Homo-oligomer: A and B are copies of this chain.
Amino acid sequence: MNGAESLIQTAFAAGVRVCFANPGTTEMPLVAALDSADGIRAVLGLFEGVCTGAADGYARMTDSPAMTLLHLGPGFANGIANLHNARRARSQIVNVIGDHATWHVAADAPLTSDIISLARPVSAWIKTPLSSKTVASDTAEAVAAARKYPGRIATLIVPSDCQWDPADGPARPIASPSAPAADDASISASAQAIRKHGASSALFLGAMAMREGALITAARIAAATGCSLVCETFPSRIERGAGMPIVERLPYFPEQATAALARFKTIVLAGAKSPVAFFGYPNLPSSVVPQGCDVIELASAEHDVAGALDALAESLDASKRDPAMASAARPSRPTGPLNAATVGQTLASVMPENAIIMDEAATTGLPFFTFSQSSPRHTYLSLTGGAIGQGLPCATGAAVACPDRRVIAFQADGSGMYTVQSLWTQARESLNVTTLLCNNRSYRILQVELARAGITEPGAKARSMTSLANPEIRWADLARSMGVPAVRVDTAEALAVELERACATPGPNFIEMML
């Protein structure tokens, strides 16, 4: 057994079941070693951002670690943007990077670079094995580091000689510590504040507080106390729809967020940080918490949030209260031209039971969240870190994780172009992903942001920087060129028909919506 085989077999023993790979020469022993562990599925991406985004989607849906296999510094760098999103989503990811042989680094060959400096901003844990003999134990450590609740990114940089030299065999898995409980003092302070302020208080939910059990507990607390449930603007994953609590989503723009929170005297943080603006604007503060509103932390994202909510419910005599749940009530099917409202309403009216919605639809996506609150039960994933190009890869990984569910990639055109190679992987793996592509031929959000920056009459060059109209991208053709069946629609009626058909058809498909 060589170092590479010891790595793959250790990862399998520690629970890794998939490797999203875009390997190169310095990973050849690892590529060969993939065949030494039957239980690890190898999924090829034609660009590293596809692999890291898919790992994020897989980890969000399974709460178990996904592995990536990447090529030296530049290959890893191509995956950084989606690792940034994954870090913000607290996803469990083990990156394995092949590096030059230890003795070849000093030669400063063309592909040599400072991998650690690149890895640090997105990795909670980084290590390079000392020799092929330590690869197995370092791999066990990497998986344990990634599994640390709720999830982290671990990056293992493996010189190629450490892959091909002999090893002693796989290492045993290392247990990750369980999540620490929230302080009693935090629980009692939170209970006191909610009891005092009732309907003027909010539970602000993030991270694992948006999973089924924690949400139901939060809804019991709301039923008992009158407090509101508000979640982060960009949930890593939230369970919602009929039979789940209705949770208000914090608006994106800071003035709107502050207005939405204006009715609260107290905000209790459950798995979330105190809310801040996505970007800084002149004359607006970073914090969107209204003046005079207290913020109390019940539990951070790194605490056992579900347990903290249970304890809070207990303290508020809410544990046995019936939570208010969304009834089953799809919106009607709209008619007419496609725009953000008709697209959101159509999707909410047609989406199948148990769908996974990956929302990177940007400006076109906003109305959907409200339209779908009583749609059939579904999982909603969003762009956690703001690094665009996450939607198609993340949907790809979610479909690998959940082969029995329909994944809907609700996708803006500008961000869709970043990692469009994902479609090929969807075709190759016959994944059940329906992409709803919003073709508005612009970076619409930037047109909004130009206006917000006071630039009401941008010059020709500035306008050109936000337009995708020349030439127009023929998205359906693009999808077909990578093996994904595609149609183009112009009306809400046609969208409903095609979406219903697409969701009932196994494998990937693609609907280009002309907005």
Contact = CB atoms under 8 A, between A and B. Distances in A.
A387 B462 contact: no
Interface string A444-466: 01100110110100111110111
A451 B164 CA distance: 14
Contact of A483 (B278, B466, B472): B472
A115 B107 CA distance: 27
Of A29, A88, A111, A277, most B-chain CB atoms within 10 Å: A111
A453 B161 CA distance: 11
Interface stretch (A73-81, A140-148, A188-196, A216-224): A73-81
Contact of A465 (B34, B78, B88, B164): B34
Contact of A113 (B25, B84, B108, B461): B84
A211 interface: no
A77 B80 contact: yes
A273 interface: yes
A104 interface: yes
Contacts of A68: none
A406 interface: no
Contact of A279 (B160, B417, B418, B470): B160
Given A386-B111, A465-B31, A118 B445 contact: no
A453 B28 contact: yes
Interface string A98-123: 00110110111111011101101110
Contacts of A114: 120-121
A42 B459 CA distance: 12
A47 interface: yes
Q: Which 9 pairs, one residue from A and one from B, show the smallest C-beta to C-beta distance?
A: A35-B459, A471-B483, A104-B280, A74-B387, A101-B280, A77-B80, A107-B286, A478-B481, A74-B81
Given A31-B462, A75-B387, 11 more contacts: A24-B446, A25-B445, A28-B449, A31-B465, A32-B462, A34-B459, A35-B461, A78-B81, A103-B286, A104-B280, A424-B473
24 contacts: A23-B446, A31-B465, A32-B455, A74-B386, A78-B78, A78-B389, A84-B111, A84-B113, A101-B279, A103-B286, A106-B286, A107-B276, A107-B280, A109-B279, A110-B278, A110-B385, A117-B121, A118-B118, A118-B121, A164-B282, A424-B473, A428-B471, A477-B480, A481-B481
Interface of A: 21, 23-26, 28-29, 31-32, 34-35, 42, 44, 46-47, 49, 73-75, 77-78, 80-81, 84-85, 88, 100-101, 103-104, 106-111, 113-115, 117-118, 120-122, 160-161, 164, 234, 273, 276-280, 282, 286-287, 384-387, 389, 414, 417-418, 420-421, 424, 427-428, 445-446, 449-450, 452-453, 455, 458-462, 464-466, 468, 470-475, 477-478, 480-483
